[in-house]
Chains A and B, each alone.
Chain A
Amino acid sequence: DQQVKQNSPSLSVQEGRISILNCDYTNSMFDYFLWYKKYPAEGPTFLISISSIKDKNEDGRFTVFLNKSAKHLSLHIVPSQPGDSAVYFCAASATNFGNEKLTFGTGTRLTIIP
């Protein structure tokens, strides 16, 4: 039972354009959402997060949008750069109080075309 789904295994975007990565979840108890970026043979690194009390959070070129009613979140990267080529995982947690389990999606491989 996949509670967090990333339905696009891969995405190719021209350098300088916007990259939009999508994530859907089924568990209505999820309250806090995170995006991680992962290069091959390395551990994931935290990118950006959002609490369910917000619908948008920005950090530089990265913006995460949350639509609670649709149980959908998206990560926007503007403008896309070659170094953004990586696998992106969304993750969800029931709280942001700490020591919580994260449920991860299967990832989307983003390729930025120069």
Chain B
Amino acid sequence: DGGITQSPKYLFRKEGQNVTLSCEQNLNHDAMYWYRQDPGQGLRLIYYSQIVNDFQKGDIAEGYSVSREKKESFPLTVTSAQKNPTAFYLCASSPTRTAKQFFGPGTRLTVL
């Protein structure tokens, strides 16, 4: 069953704690992306990676970090430096030869 998995679906953390969101894909896609969705603001790009061991900042990278050690995995760490971390986080991947991206189910992070 090919697809993108994100875990957990819901995540709660105390203010000041770092938290890592998981994203795994078995579609053999080269590129992977992290977006954040806030009400009324659409999807904003946090980080993206076009190939293993390489990644670039998106439009709102401050307070976030990523790694891409394996093709299948692209975890996102929300650090304590992120001022408004409560949001719905979406991971996506895309194959070569198309701009079409495929999305995971998302993780809702709530920082208390």
Residues of A that sit less than 8 Å from B by CB: 6, 9, 32, 34, 36, 41-46, 49, 89, 93, 95-102, 104-107
Structural contact, A105 and B30, CB atoms closer than 8 A: no
Given contacts A42-B105, A43-B90, A46-B102, whether A98 and B97 have CB atoms under 8 Å apart is yes
Can you give 9 contacting A-B residue pairs, CB < 8 Å? A34-B99, A49-B99, A97-B99, A98-B97, A101-B45, A101-B48, A101-B58, A104-B35, A105-B42
- What residues on B are CB-neighbors of A9 within 8 Å? 40
Structural contact, B90 and A99, CB atoms closer than 8 A: no
Partner of B99, one of A6, A45, A93: A93
Structural contact, A99 and B96, CB atoms closer than 8 A: yes
Least distance between B68 CB and chain A CB atoms (Å): 13
- Given A41-B88, A99-B31, output 4 extra A-B contacts at Cβ < 8 Å: A43-B4, A95-B99, A96-B98, A102-B99
Structural contact, A99 and B100, CB atoms closer than 8 A: no
Given contacts A97-B99, A99-B96, whether A104 and B106 have CB atoms under 8 Å apart is no
Structural contact, A44 and B99, CB atoms closer than 8 A: no
Structural contact, A100 and B90, CB atoms closer than 8 A: no
Given contacts A43-B90, A49-B100, whether A89 and B50 have CB atoms under 8 Å apart is no
Task: Pick from B96, B98, B104 the residue with the most CB of A within 10 Å.
Answer: B98
Structural contact, B94 and A44, CB atoms closer than 8 A: no
